Amino acid sequence: MKCGYENADPNMEVCPKCGSKDIDRLQRITGYLVGTTERW
């Protein structure tokens, strides 16, 4: 968000701090890399 507010709520549509609808959504991906890095 332009004001710098951060929140993990995936359903937030409007920033409670500044009222902006310009919201960046981040997603976390977790997992394991298997094997060696030779094929990269």
DSSP state of 2: T
DSSP track, 15-30: -TTT------------
pLDDT on residue 31: 72
Question: Does 8 fall in a domain?
Answer: yes
Domain with 9, as residue range(s), is 1-27
Query: What is the structure's pLDDT at 18?
Result: 92
- Residue 14 within any structural domain of the chain: yes
| Assigned domain for 35 exists | no
pLDDT at 1: 62
Q: What is the pLDDT of residues 4-40, one digit of tens each?
A: 888 888 888 898 999 999 888 776 777 776 776 676 6
Residue 22 lies inside a defined structural domain of this protein: yes
Distance, in Å, from the CA atom of 35 to the CA atom of 7, rounded to the nearest integer, reads 35
Asked whether residue 20 is domain-assigned, the answer is: yes
What's the domain count of the chain? 1
Q: What is the pTM of this model?
A: 0.51
**Residue from 35, 31, 25 nearest 15 by CA:** 25
